[in-house]
């Protein structure tokens, strides 16, 4: 496997880990861990797709990363007690 394969694989595994942990009730979809796993994973998978020049996944992972970034910004902007 080359660097692009590793980036894409690790990115996708992070997204799947976030989903799995959410489904089994270990993390909430509003938790920082869930948001960061998706943000970092989608960004890595998007970057790998850019390196491969594979537009369908550039769009998919790019949108996924942007939605995750939006969630991260919302998470940071909420007051903590």
Residue 81 lies in a domain: no
Task: State the average pLDDT over residues 37-56.
Answer: 97
Annotate 14-32 with b (16+ C-beta within 10 A) or e (fewer). Answer: bbebbbebbeeeebeeeee
Q: Given a cut of 90, is residue 80 above it in pLDDT? A: no
Look up the domain containing 49 and give its range.
3-73
Give the whole-angstrom CA distance, residue 43 versus residue 49: 10
Residue 41 lies in a domain: yes
pLDDT score of 10: 98
Task: Say if 79 falls within a structural domain.
Answer: no
- Take residue 63 and report the two structure tokens written for it: 């949108």
**pLDDT tops 80 at residue 30:** yes
Q: Is residue 80 part of a domain?
A: no
Provide CB contacts within 8 A for 61, sequence distance 6+.
11, 42, 43, 45, 46, 49
Q: Is residue 67 part of a domain?
A: yes
Q: How many domains does the chain have?
A: 1
pLDDT reading at 79 higher than 90: no
Residue 81 pLDDT = 72
- Per-residue pLDDT for 69 more than 90? yes
């Amino acid at each position: 496997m080359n660097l692009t394969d590793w980036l894409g694989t690790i990115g996708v595994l992070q997204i799947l880990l976030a989903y799995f942990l959410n489904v089994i009730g270990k993390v909430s979809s509003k938790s920082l861990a869930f948001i960061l796993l998706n943000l970092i994973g989608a960004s890595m998978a998007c970057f790998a797709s850019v390196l491969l020049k594979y537009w369908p996944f550039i769009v998919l992972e790019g949108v996924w990363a942007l939605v995750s970034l939006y969630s991260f910004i919302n998470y940071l902007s909420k007051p903590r007690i």
